[in-house]
Structure 1
Amino acid sequence: MSEATYFILAALLDGPLHGYAVIKRVQELSGGRVGLAVGTLYGALERMTDGGLIEVDREEVVAGRPRRYFRATASGRESVQEEAGRLAAAAAVVTGRTAASKRPASGTGPAAAAGAVVIA
């Protein structure tokens, strides 16, 4: 799943949004790291609609211009949850190794020098 798809689905988890609101919500959720251009957004929304991840919730006219609201489908919600789990598992591989590398190896350090047994 692309990063844009992931964050668009995440943005729609709280309910339907129109395009500009999706762009703003993606920026908020990513801490400003992911910015979507309008063309990128609407291309992604079309692909995601065709793929059954999202659907049009409703349309309204605001200031004479049509505004389309999108919502995540059950399949879209399931897909983003699975991707979040996959990302968490992948991150755990690295964060687990980082935490382990900070612990002193058994038999080293000041406690071992004093004759204590170190259990990591």
Structure 2
Amino acid sequence: MSEQTFLMLVALEEEPRHGYGVVQRVLEMSEGRVRLRVGTLYGVLDRLVADGWAEHDREEIHQGRLRRYYRLTGAGSAALVEQTRRLAANVDAASTVLRARGQWPRATEGRA
């Protein structure tokens, strides 16, 4: 799963969002590192819907334009939990190796 998809799942787990809302939340969560382009955003959203991980929540007209909101399904939430566990295990493994080599702070020192 790409970082973009992962962060989109997190954004949709918080609350239903329209496309621009997803873009803004991902930018905020990633501290500006991940900027979703429109093609990427809607390509991933279409795939999440096709895979049953997200669904349309509602539509509304805002300033004359249609906003379609998306929300995670139970399967999408489960996928997010599983991916989070996998990433956490990878971070634990890497930090153990780096700590042994003196390249990562001890737990009491905080993370760099």
TM-score normalised over the length of structure 1 = 0.81
Residue aligning to 1:108: none
For 1:51, the equivalent position in structure 2 comes to 51
Gaps of 5+ in 2: 103-112
Q: What one-letter code is carried by the residue in structure 1 that aligns with 2:93? A: V
1:33 paired residue number: 33
Shift of 1:74: 0.6
1:89 maps to what in 2? 89
Q: Deviations over 1:62-97 (max 9, x none)?
A: 122110000011111110111011011011111011
Count the aligned residue pairs. 102
How far apart are the structure 2 equivalents of 1:35 and 1:63?
Answer: 24
Matches of residues 99-118 of structure 1 in structure 2 within 5 Å?
Answer: 99-102=99-102
Displacement after TM superposition at 1:100 (Å): 2.0
Alignment of 1:12-23 (within 5 A): 12-23=12-23
Give the match's secondary structure for 1:47.
Answer: helix
Pairwise CA distance, 1:101: 2.3
Task: Give the CA deviation at 1:4.
Answer: 1.5
After the TM superposition, list the runs of 4 or more consecutive aligned residues in structure 1 that deviate by more than 2 angstroms. Answer: none
Q: Which SS does the other structure have where 2:36 is aligned?
A: coil
**Which of the two has higher C-alpha Rg?**
1
**In 2: Cα distance, 1:99 partner to 1:52 partner:** 40
The share of aligned pairs that are identical, in percent, is 47
Partner of 1:42: 42
Question: What TM-score do the two structures reach when normalised by structure 2?
Answer: 0.87
RMSD, matched Cα: 0.9
Q: 1:70: which partner in 2?
A: 70
